[in-house]
Amino acid sequence: MKTYNEKIELTKKLLRADKSFRYIMSKTKFSPNKISEIKKELFGINAEPKHTQAYRLFYYEGKDVLEVALELGLTQEQSEKYYL
């Protein structure tokens, strides 16, 4: 039986090899949520919700509605909604 850390390393290796979640699940016995968590960490994908990212950009970085919309891939209306 593999240790937890060995299973995480195997998951990372299989993700880099572009294997499917189903295949990774069969080899590691991890849930899709755990595999997704590891994938986000491995590839630097921000798991934070858009409204939280927008709040940070507005209030901590001083960006305006258009800058936030462009950076997060939102429409101007969505960005204005988060601003309000």
Residue 9 main-chain phi, psi, to 5 deg: -65, -40
The model carries a pTM of: 0.59
- The pLDDT tens digits of the residues spanning 8-31 come to 999 999 999 999 999 999 999 999
22 burial level (CB within 10 Å; 0-12, 13-18, 19+): exposed
- The pLDDT tens digits of the residues spanning 26-47 come to 999 999 999 999 998 888 877 7
Q: How many CB atoms lie within 10 A of CB 4?
A: 9
Give yes or no for residue 1 having a pLDDT over 70. no
C-alpha dist (Å) from residue 46 to 65, 76, 77: 20, 21, 22
CA distance 24 to 22: 5
